[in-house]
Amino acid sequence: MDLRTMLIANKEAIRAKTRTLFPKIPADKLTWAPEAKALTLGQIMRHLAQSEAGMLDVVRKGSWWYLDERVGPMLTSYVGPATDKDAEIKRLEDAHTATLAFVKDAPEEVLEREYRSERLNRAMKGWQVILGMAEHEAHHRGQIATYLRLLGEPAPSPYGPY
């Protein structure tokens, strides 16, 4: 399996597991969070879409704009309000589709290239950025599952159905 195929398969597998939680998220609880400084359910979804789009631009354009903007302000204020479940799911799917399309067509040297941000003192290869998106999504999928459990959803697995 080549690098491109592996990245796409990994990204698809992570998203498939995340999608299993979407139907369990009550539309009327998108603004709920377990405490005042935490992201709401809707904001977690919005954050995933925003960060994926921003990190894709590291590999697609060599631009670290997302982390340049994001580092500093409270995440809750940066993300903004998120109250429409269908709109947030669409944002997530649009970002996912853009990532898959880019990876499918990206030359291998783009995925192997190291991208540096001197300001952030960070360097990552393109494939690390793409894998990092999946790890980030898995982290927040677990957070969504925990929120759902706190809201009374019986054992919402962040790993998908088995």
CATH number of 3-150: 1.20.120.450
Residue 122, number of CB atoms within 10 A of its CB:
12
Judge contact between 42 and 30, C-beta under 8 A.
yes
Nearest to 41 by CA among 161, 145, 133, 136: 145
Q: Which amino acid is at 73?
A: P
Question: How far is residue 63's CA from residue 58's CA, in Å, rounded to a whole number?
Answer: 5
| pLDDT by position in tens, the chain (length 162) | 799 999 999 999 999 999 999 999 999 999 999 999 899 999 999 999 999 999 999 999 999 989 888 876 678 888 999 999 999 999 999 999 999 999 999 999 999 999 999 988 999 999 999 999 999 999 999 999 999 999 998 877 777 664
According to DSSP, residue 118 is labeled T
Question: How far is residue 66's CA from residue 80's CA, in Å, rounded to a whole number?
Answer: 15
Question: How far is residue 119's CA from residue 43's CA, in Å, rounded to a whole number?
Answer: 27
Per-residue pLDDT, 147? 96
Structure tokens at 29: 């609880």
Structure tokens at 46: 């919005």
Judge contact between 158 and 14, C-beta under 8 A.
no
Tell me the pairing of strands 122-125 and 114-117. Answer: antiparallel
